[in-house]
Amino acid sequence: MNVLVALALLAGCIAQVQNAISPQPTSVGTLTCREIVGNCDATCGDPLCVRNCTSQGTAEAQTQHTAVVDCAQRNACTDEACVRAHCAAEAEACEGAPLPPPPPPAQ
């Protein structure tokens, strides 16, 4: 019985540590995943900052952003080249459809 109590306590401690390291968003924002990366992630200098950017997105964007960040973390990525090499599907889902080309200059 003591082993079960110890395991339950350990599981609770692990959950608390995971939440401190990778907090779940507590609100829903208005940004797309692409906008989270461009407007927030780009200004971050550490992984916790990047995780905190997630809450600025819509529910769909939060799911996409979390997938990219989790994949990057699993693969120890610290730059875009690594993310593109190891997390291509997640990055593409985050980026969404390619932006249309700018209109030609007026003549």
pLDDT digits (tens, 9 = 90+) for 75-95: 999 888 999 999 999 999 999
Residue 38 lies in a domain: yes
Burial grade of 1 (CB within 10 A; 0-12, 13-18, 19 or more): exposed
Residue 104 lies in a domain: no
The overall average pLDDT reported for the chain is 79
| Residue 20, pLDDT score | 53
What's the domain range around 62? 24-95
pLDDT band at 107 (very low <50, low <70, confident <90, very high): confident
For 38, phi and psi rounded to 5 degrees? -75, -35
Residue 34 lies in a domain: yes
Residue 103 lies in a domain: no
Number of domains, the chain: 1
Residue 8 lies in a domain: no
Residue 84 lies in a domain: yes
